[in-house]
A and B are shown apart, each in its own frame.
Chain A
Amino acid sequence: MGIRSTTPREKIVIETAASSARYWHELKEFRELIYFLSWRDILVRYKQTVIGILWAVMRPLLLMIVLTVVFGGLAKLSKQETMPYPLLVLTGLLPWQFFATTLADSVENVVKNQSLISKLYFPRLIIPMSASIVTFLDFVISLGLLSLAMLYYQFIPGVRCLLLPFFILQLFLFSFGLSLWISALTVKYRDFRYLVPFAVQFGLYITPVGFSSSIVPEKWRLIYGLNPMVGIIDGFRWSILDAPLLYWPTFCISLLITVVVFFTGLSFFRNSERNFADII
C-alpha cells in the first residue's frame, strides 16, 4: 500500500444508507482477506487433530458405512437396487454433508467472528464466503473418496457425469444462499444457534441420503420434491450413477427454489450487514 501519490486519492463517503456499486468493488479489493480467513480456518482445524486432513475422509467414510448397514442391510432396501448400495449412499452423502456443514458453520461463524465484526471494517459477505470455501475443499476431498469407491466397485460412470458440475453449482448456490439467510438472522436472533443443528439433523431423515427417493410412493413425489435437496441429490445420482430420471418436476422445483433462496439471501444479508456491528 504505502502512500501512492501517483494513484488518485481514494474517497470514502459515509452516509446513512449504503451504496451498492461501491460494495462489489470493495469485495474485490478485500479478496485477499477471503483467502486469509479460509487459510486460518483450515490451519486451526487441523492444528490440534492427530490425523489431520484424514478427518475429511473419515467422516463421510464412517457415515457411509453406518448408513449402508442401517438402510441397505437392516432395512433391506438394497434388494431393490441394481447398483452397489455404498455408492448410492455416498452420492447422497456428499451433497448432504456439504449442505449440512455450510449451514452449521454459518451459525458458528457469526459467533466466532464477533470481535472482528465489531472492531474492523470489511464487506461482511467475506465471512460466509470464506467459510463456504473451506467446506467446499472438504467436498472436493470427499469426491476423491467417491472416485476410489467407484474404482473398487468397478463402476464406470456414463457421459451424464459431464453434467455433474451443474448440480454441484446448484448445491453450492442453494447452501450458500441459505447460509446468508441464517447468518444474518443469527446476528439478530441467537435462537438460530440451537435451531439450525436441530433442523439439519431432522433434514437427514426427510432427504434421500441413506436411500433412493424411488422408495417414496408416486403420489407423494411432488410434495417430497418441495425439499430442494431431493432434486439436487437425485441429480447427483442421475449424473454419476446413471440412475433413472424419477420425476422431472422435482428438478424444476429444486432449481426454482435455489434461485429464489440465493438471490433473496444475498439481498437480505446486504440489507442487514450494515447494522451487524450495532446489534451483534
Chain B
Amino acid sequence: MTIHVENISKRFYIHHEHAPLYNTLRETLTNGVRSFFFKMRGKSPIHLHPPLEEFWALKNISFDVDPGDRVAIIGRNGAGKSTLLKILSRISPPTTGRAVIEGKVASLLEVGTGFHPELTGRENIFLNGAFLGMSKQEIKKKFDEIVEFADIEMFLDTPVKRYSSGMYVRLAFGVAAHLEPEILFIDEVLAVGDARFQKKCIGKMEEVSRHGRTILFITHNMGALSFCNKGILLEKGQHIPTQSLQECIQKYNEEILTNSQQRWQGDVGNEHLRIHSLSISPHEKTGIFCRGGQAKIEAVFKIERPIRDLVLGYLIFNKNGVNLVQYKASHEEQIPMIFDPGTYKMESLIDVSIFSEGFFRLELDMGIYDQKRITPPDVHVMFEVINNKKKFGEPENIIFPEWHSSIQKIH
C-alpha cells in the first residue's frame, strides 16, 4: 500500500456576525478584559465572543491507494477535495485521524506558486523547482526539457511580469510536469490554459502515470478521467463508497442531477466579479424544452472592480458528465474589452433541436481570457429535453441535430 488513510477529519470554525477576516490583537484583548469583568460580576461572558460555528470539512475519511494507482477525487465544490489534498500534503494538520504515505511526494496545488514577477523565466524555473522539492542538480538536468515544454526560449531572460498569461501558465506547468516523485498530488490546476495546452498537460500526466507513479488528482473535467483507475467521491466532507470509477462518476452525476433545477441563485465569484443568478427557460410558452423550440438563458452578474478580457460563455454537459457544447460570446456580441463596475445581464438563445431527449446540465463559464476560470462548476442549471416525435430506438443524452441528406446514384 502506498497511501493508507484512516478516519481523517478536519474541523474549521466559522466566524459569524461582523467577524473580521483576521484576528486582531485588539479584539482578543478587549474580549479578554470584558469577559474578565463579566466574570467578576458573576455573569456569563459567553455572549461576548463572536459566535463560532463548527464546520467539518472532512469527516472520517478512510481509503487505501496502491502503488501505481491513478485516483480521481471528485465531488462538488465544498465537498472537501482540496482540504483532503492539503492534509495529505502536510500543509494543514488533520483534526483527528492518521495517514501513512510511503514514497517521495510532490504536490501541485496551484500553478506557479512561488513565482516572483520581478525575476526572469530562467530564475523562476529554479525557484519554483526548489519549492516543489527538486534539487538544483535535477532542475539543471531538466532545464532544457522544461523550456521546450513551455515554449518560452525567446523570453528566458525576461521578467515574468512581462509574460502573457498563457506563457506564465505554460512555464509554471512545465516545471511541475517535470517533477519525478513517486506520488503526485494535483489540485484542479488543469482548468487553466487553452485547450491545446490542456491536452498537452493531460498527455504529460498520462505519460507520468505509465511510469508506475501514483497520482491523486482533483478534477471536474470528466474527460480527464480517461487514464484513472480509481475514484474517490466526496459529498459534504463524507466519503461515498463506490466499487469502481464508473460507479463513482455515475453517482457524482446523479448527485448533481438531483440537486439542481432550472434556476440557480447565489453569490459566488471573486473580488472582481460576483455571479448572482443563472436560469434557463423554454423560449416558447409551452413550458417544456422540446425539439424544434428554443431555450432562453439568462445570467446576472455584478462587476465589483473594472475587469479586462472577461470571457462569457456556457458549457453544456450530458448526464454522464460529457461536455457536449462550448459557447463563448465573441466580439460580434460587442463584449466590451473592459467591464466597468455595475450589474449586467446576459441573455442568450440556443436551439433545443440539437439535443436528443435527455437531461442536460448548463454551466456558466466565465473567466479571464487564457488565464483562469472564475465560475465554480456548481453554478449550473438542469434542463430536460423532451422529444414529442421520438422514434423508437433513438438515442438519449447526446447531440442529435437534424440532418438533411440526399442520396443519388452517380455512376
User: Interface of A with B (CB < 8 Å)?
Assistant: 1-3, 9-18, 32-33, 36, 40, 43-44, 47-48, 115-116, 118-122, 188-192, 195, 274-275, 277-279
Chain B residues with Cβ below 8 Å from A120 are: 91, 107, 109, 113-114, 131-132
Instruction: Tell whether, in the assembled complex, residue A119 and residue B113 are in contact, meaning their CB atoms are under 8 Å apart.
Output: yes
A10 to chain B, nearest CB (A): 6
Q: What is the CA–CA distance of A195 and B180 in the complex, to the nearest angstrom? A: 44
Q: What is the CA–CA distance of A3 and B138 in the complex, to the nearest angstrom? A: 12
Chain B residues with Cβ below 8 Å from A275 are: 92-93
Instruction: Tell whether, in the assembled complex, residue B24 and residue A118 are in contact, meaning their CB atoms are under 8 Å apart.
Output: no
Instruction: Tell whether, in the assembled complex, residue B105 and residue A12 are in contact, meaning their CB atoms are under 8 Å apart.
Output: yes
Q: What is the CA–CA distance of A19 and B132 in the complex, to the nearest angstrom? A: 22
Instruction: Tell whether, in the assembled complex, residue A14 and residue B98 are in contact, meaning their CB atoms are under 8 Å apart.
Output: yes
Instruction: Tell whether, in the assembled complex, residue B180 and residue A3 are in contact, meaning their CB atoms are under 8 Å apart.
Output: yes
Instruction: Tell whether, in the assembled complex, residue B100 and residue A14 are in contact, meaning their CB atoms are under 8 Å apart.
Output: yes
Whether A1 contacts B98 in the complex (CB less than 8 A), given A44-B118, A189-B22, comes out as: no
Chain B residues with Cβ below 8 Å from A119 are: 91, 109-110, 113
Whether A9 contacts B103 in the complex (CB less than 8 A), given A1-B181, A48-B118, A119-B113, comes out as: yes
Q: A10-B102, A14-B98 are in contact. List 16 more A-B contacts (CB 8 A).
A: A3-B182, A9-B103, A11-B101, A12-B90, A14-B90, A16-B94, A16-B96, A43-B123, A44-B119, A47-B118, A119-B113, A120-B107, A121-B91, A277-B86, A277-B91, A279-B23
A38 to chain B, nearest CB (A): 11
Q: Which of B128-154 contact A (CB under 8 A)?
A: 130-136, 138
- Residue in contact with B92 in the complex, picked from A2, A32, A48, A277, CB distance below 8 Å: A277
Task: Report the interface size class on chain B.
Answer: 35 or more
Q: What is the CA–CA distance of A65 and B300 in the complex, to the nearest angstrom? A: 63
Interface centre among A1, A15, A44, A277 (most CB of B within 10 A): A1
B11 to chain A, nearest CB (A): 10
Chain A residues with Cβ below 8 Å from B93 are: 14-18, 274-275
User: Interface of B with A (CB < 8 Å)?
Assistant: 12, 22-26, 28, 86-105, 107, 109-110, 113-114, 116, 118-119, 123, 126-127, 130-136, 138, 159, 180-182, 213
- Residue in contact with B113 in the complex, picked from A115, A188, A279, CB distance below 8 Å: A115
Instruction: Tell whether, in the assembled complex, residue A13 and residue B135 are in contact, meaning their CB atoms are under 8 Å apart.
Output: no
Instruction: Tell whether, in the assembled complex, residue A278 and residue B92 are in contact, meaning their CB atoms are under 8 Å apart.
Output: yes
Q: What is the CA–CA distance of A3 and B67 in the complex, to the nearest angstrom? A: 13
Q: What is the CA–CA distance of A15 and B12 in the complex, to the nearest angstrom? A: 17
Instruction: Tell whether, in the assembled complex, residue A1 and residue B135 are in contact, meaning their CB atoms are under 8 Å apart.
Output: yes
A-B contact pairs, 23 of them (CB 8 A): A10-B102, A12-B105, A13-B98, A13-B100, A14-B99, A15-B98, A17-B93, A18-B93, A33-B131, A40-B123, A47-B118, A115-B110, A119-B91, A119-B109, A119-B113, A121-B90, A188-B22, A189-B23, A189-B25, A189-B28, A275-B93, A277-B92, A279-B22
Q: What is the CA–CA distance of A195 and B159 in the complex, to the nearest angstrom? A: 34
Whether A116 contacts B114 in the complex (CB less than 8 A), given A11-B101, A14-B88, A16-B93, comes out as: yes
Instruction: Tell whether, in the assembled complex, residue A192 and residue B90 are in contact, meaning their CB atoms are under 8 Å apart.
Output: no
Q: What is the CA–CA distance of A16 and B28 in the complex, to the nearest angstrom? A: 26
Report the number of A-B residue pairs with Cβ-Cβ less than 8 Å: 122
Q: What is the CA–CA distance of A16 and B105 in the complex, to the nearest angstrom? A: 19
Whether A191 contacts B24 in the complex (CB less than 8 A), given A1-B180, A120-B91, comes out as: yes
Q: What is the CA–CA distance of A274 and B95 in the complex, to the nearest angstrom? A: 12
Instruction: Tell whether, in the assembled complex, residue A32 and residue B135 are in contact, meaning their CB atoms are under 8 Å apart.
Output: yes
Whether A32 contacts B130 in the complex (CB less than 8 A), given A120-B113, A191-B26, comes out as: yes
Chain B residues with Cβ below 8 Å from A48 are: 118
Looking across the interface, which residue of chain B has its beta carbon closest to that of A274?
B93
Chain B residues with Cβ below 8 Å from A191 are: 24-26
Q: What is the CA–CA distance of A14 and B87 in the complex, to the nearest angstrom? A: 8
Instruction: Tell whether, in the assembled complex, residue A36 and residue B127 are in contact, meaning their CB atoms are under 8 Å apart.
Output: yes
Interface centre among B12, B103, B130, B132 (most CB of A within 10 A): B130
Looking across the interface, which residue of chain B has its beta carbon closest to that of A30?
B133
Chain A residues with Cβ below 8 Å from B130 are: 32-33, 36
Instruction: Tell whether, in the assembled complex, residue A1 and residue B95 are in contact, meaning their CB atoms are under 8 Å apart.
Output: no
Chain A residues with Cβ below 8 Å from B182 are: 3, 9
Instruction: Tell whether, in the assembled complex, residue A1 and residue B138 are in contact, meaning their CB atoms are under 8 Å apart.
Output: yes
Chain A residues with Cβ below 8 Å from B119 are: 40, 43-44, 47
Whether A121 contacts B123 in the complex (CB less than 8 A), given A14-B99, A277-B86, comes out as: no
Looking across the interface, which residue of chain A has its beta carbon closest to that of B138?
A1
Q: What is the CA–CA distance of A238 and B26 in the complex, to the nearest angstrom? A: 41
B1 to chain A, nearest CB (A): 11
Chain B residues with Cβ below 8 Å from A3 are: 104, 180, 182, 213
Instruction: Tell whether, in the assembled complex, residue A40 and residue B127 are in contact, meaning their CB atoms are under 8 Å apart.
Output: yes
Chain A residues with Cβ below 8 Å from B24 are: 189-191
Instruction: Tell whether, in the assembled complex, residue A116 and residue B113 are in contact, meaning their CB atoms are under 8 Å apart.
Output: yes
Instruction: Tell whether, in the assembled complex, residue B118 and residue A14 are in contact, meaning their CB atoms are under 8 Å apart.
Output: no
Whether A116 contacts B135 in the complex (CB less than 8 A), given A18-B93, A44-B119, A189-B23, comes out as: no
Q: What is the CA–CA distance of A17 and B98 in the complex, to the nearest angstrom? A: 10
Instruction: Tell whether, in the assembled complex, residue A2 and residue B102 are in contact, meaning their CB atoms are under 8 Å apart.
Output: no
Chain B residues with Cβ below 8 Å from A274 are: 93
Interface centre among A275, A277, A279 (most CB of B within 10 A): A277
Instruction: Tell whether, in the assembled complex, residue B107 and residue A1 are in contact, meaning their CB atoms are under 8 Å apart.
Output: no
Q: What is the CA–CA distance of A122 and B136 in the complex, to the nearest angstrom? A: 17
Looking across the interface, which residue of chain B has its beta carbon closest to that of A18?
B93
Chain B residues with Cβ below 8 Å from A15 are: 93-94, 98
Q: What is the CA–CA distance of A3 and B180 in the complex, to the nearest angstrom? A: 7
